[in-house]
Amino acid sequence: MKILLVGKFDLGMGGPATVVNNLKNKLKDDVNYKIETLNLSKINNLLLILKVLFSKKFKNNLFKYDIIHMHELWDPTIIFLCFKAQHLGIPYFFTFHGVLNKWSMNKNNLQKKVFLFLFSRFILNISQAFHFLNVAEYHEARTLSKKFNNRSFVLSNGIDLPEIEQKKNLTEDNKLQLLFFGRKHPKKGIYDLIEAFKLIKADNLNIELKIVGPRSDYENYLLSKIKEFKLGDFIRFEDAIYRYDEKIKLFSKSDYFILPSYDEADSVAIKESISFGVPIIITKNCKFVEPEKFNLGFTITHNSNEIYKVIKNLKNYEKSYGDKSLSCLNYAKKNFDLSKTINSYKDITKEIITGVKYSDNWL
């Protein structure tokens, strides 16, 4: 089977790029599958649209694919690719990565609604399937359209699990190390963390926050606030890391992963943290399981005072930290194995092409 993945796949784009790279790497040695990508962030929109509409070479190239997997929605080239795929009889489906969630839809709301109103018949009406990363994402999308009722399936992100058997202990420098790992974006709630650290500084707590992720314009704003609040001794910014050995080093020097996000689809960073045995501190908006229920960590709100109280209270759990770390490792092995995700992906893509639905993933 030959699959074309379409989207914006630069690593700085966050989770979708990681998901696609995992998929490509896992299937590269499978003789029955050939994965190719069309990276929209590296192609001029107008040029691509002209190729889609008028290039015979581009049309003939599309014929070699059995299915097209869209990882982007708002890019205008998607409209023309969907129209061309329909015209050529090539099935395609979407993974939305949370772009139809309420939080995301509230940003540039009018433009997005107009886009869906004008072009949904070229995008949603004729799509063979819709992939959601969890049931919560599906239900949020259903409020926008009934088109998702009969062609949707749920398949969560998987990750390559590190070979870690022993539970992690707290770092040994008597300073609690918190890690934020991801895009530096307003959606992630980083400013709420900075507000909480004003209280941590006032209370003279021995806690440090490391914020690791791709550089962005928003980072400059956050740095200005850290300087204004004189939090330079408490909060450090670092550039993104992608290599496996660098992640091992980063998580081994972190006691807790914290993500006060306002919205997530299916955070790869949360899963990576748990797979390294690092307990998590997250909001309900992360659409993950309740950490306390599985002894994986703690739940926070977006209120800086409440974030401060949870962080301050971590000291009371020092003796049980190892148990939390072990719970994380066991939970990751049971739920995040990328090999299982890939096998489900293979089954579902076959079902989309043949028009049958045997998998339990279908809703």
CA-based end-to-end distance of the chain: 24
Residues 136 and 239 occupy one common structural domain: no
244 in a domain, yes or no? yes
What is the pTM for the complete model shown?
A: 0.91
φ, ψ (nearest 5 deg) of residue 336: -115, 5
**Cα(178)–Cα(121) distance, integer angstroms:** 46
Give yes or no for residue 258 having a pLDDT over 90: yes
Residues 320 and 345 occupy one common structural domain: no
Mapped onto helix, strand or coil, the DSSP state of residue 154 is: strand
Residues 199 and 182 occupy one common structural domain: yes
Residue 56's nearest CA partner among 84, 34, 90, 91 is 84
Q: Are 283 and 188 in contact (CB under 8 A)?
A: no
CATH of the domain at 295: 3.40.50.2000
232 in a domain, yes or no? yes
Residues 21 and 152 occupy one common structural domain: yes
- Averaged pLDDT, 35-62: 89
Residues 329 and 186 occupy one common structural domain: yes
- Give the pLDDT confidence of 184-243 residue by residue, as tens digits: 999 999 999 999 999 999 999 999 999 999 998 999 999 999 999 999 999 999 999 988
204 in a domain, yes or no? yes
Residues 136 and 252 occupy one common structural domain: no
Q: Which domain holds residue 141?
A: 2-158+337-354
346 in a domain, yes or no? yes
Sequence length of the chain is 363
Residues 74 and 64 occupy one common structural domain: yes
Give the total number of structural domains in the chain: 2
**Cα(150)–Cα(188) distance, integer angstroms:** 32
- Give the pLDDT confidence of 89-144 residue by residue, as tens digits: 999 999 999 999 999 998 887 888 888 888 887 788 889 999 999 999 999 999 88
Q: According to the model, what pLDDT value does residue 14 have?
A: 66
